[in-house]
Every structure is written in C-alpha cells, then in structure tokens.
Amino acid sequence: MSAATFLRRLVQVLDAAGIPYMVAGSFASTFHGMVRATQDVDVVVLWSSTGQESVGWW
C-alpha cells in the first residue's frame, strides 16, 4: 500500500469518527510547495476514549 493510499484511508476513518487530526511531515510540506525526499506520512491525532469507541479498534 502506498503512503498516499494509507493516508487517504486513515483520513476517511478519522473524519467519519469525528476525531481531530493534522497531517505533518513531507506530505504536508509537499502540499504547500516544499517537496522533500523522504515522502513519509506524519499524522498527529487528538485521541480520547470517545474516539476509540467511535473507530471501534479497542
């Protein structure tokens, strides 16, 4: 799975669950016009017990 596909799926799940997040790192910098060689995905999530129940992972 590519990083872009992973990020797309993760964002869909987080959005559907109403969990706040932000994308950082090279994906975010590329979006803003500063291409970096690493092409990794960094995601910061505001996690809570409510969010866990919404996603249903735990």
Angstrom distance (rounded) from CA 48 to CA 32: 29
Q: Report the chain's mean pLDDT, rounded to a whole number.
A: 79
DSSP secondary structure code for residue 33 in this structure: T
Neighbours of 25 (CB within 10 A): 16
> Which tens digits make up the pLDDT trace of 16-25?
988 899 988 8
Query: Cβ neighbours of residue 39 under 8 Å, at least 6 residues apart?
Result: 3, 26, 27, 30
Q: What is the pLDDT of residue 24?
A: 85
Per-residue pLDDT of the chain (58 residues; tens, 9 = 90+): 777 788 889 889 889 988 899 988 888 888 788 888 887 788 888 877 665 565 555 4
**What pTM was estimated for this model as a whole?**
0.64
